[in-house]
Amino acid sequence: MSLNEVRYLPECDSTNLYAKAHFEEFGPVGAVYTTSQTAGRGRRGHAWENAPGQALYCTVVIREDLVQPEALPLLASLAVAEQLRLRYGVQCRIKWPNDLLLNGKKIAGILCESVSYGFQNQGRGYLCGIGINLAQPRAYFEAAGLPYGSSLALEGAAVDLEQDPEILAEALTDFGFDRALYAFAREGFAPFREAYKAACVNLGRRVTFALPGGGQGAGVARDIDEGGRLIVQTDGGERQVFTGEVSVGGIYGAV
């Protein structure tokens, strides 16, 4: 077991799958990353298109008790946005709960999962799978049918494909997650709420969302509560939204 170990793989099927298989080899916070992921997936089973050598695929491994694990995707989005700001000087917006947008284009996605491990699977840990579009060309997104996707390089960032994957993976592990977890593990989302709200593109916009029993609801997103739930003002009153797809009007393609 190594404290804050960051492993590099030239290629793998999925960094999340690798992290699950090797979970107990990591310390409280660690990571595995690659620039070629052949069988990744996104939220709700969506495929994550591989872009060999042009993107970062990183899974942060967390072996800590969390008082509010359901809010981990929101913390992860803040962690990634901050490290991209420090590295490239860009100001990403967050589409609730955890997609990162730059100039109205999606440049990063996050998938968090819980993991049971140890004697009789009594231990509980977490994975944060992070995909960051570093330098894919426009043709990649067109071929993948992703008109609102983009890469940092396409949006004007000076990307170094030789150094940046390692630098970002190390920074996310040590600064993005490890330091933030001291507060998040004990207090949950509340200490990060205002920073998240400042970056959240949903607020003040009309959104549609899936209802638990089927169908769709709609209204204006007004707030993010201390549990990380999106508060939507509908014609029938306020609703708390925490799971499922949320669509936001007018965010894509806007500079």
pLDDT recorded at residue 253: 53
**Per-residue tokens: 110:** 């996050």
User: Averaged over 140-152, what is the pLDDT?
Assistant: 93
User: Averaged over 240-244, what is the pLDDT?
Assistant: 82
Cα dihedral 117, 119, 122, 128 in deg (nearest 10):
-10
pLDDT recorded at residue 135: 98
Average pLDDT, the chain: 91
User: Averaged over 22-42, what is the pLDDT?
Assistant: 88
How far is the C-alpha of 95 from the C-alpha of 234, rounded, in Å?
A: 19
pLDDT tens column, 97-129: 999 999 999 999 999 999 998 888 888 999 999
User: Averaged over 142-147, what is the pLDDT?
Assistant: 90
> pTM for the whole thing?
0.91
Given CA atoms 177, 183, 188, 192 in this order, what sign does their dihedral have? negative
**Per-residue tokens: 77:** 């989005």
Task: Report phi then psi at 164, rounded to 5.
Answer: -65, -40
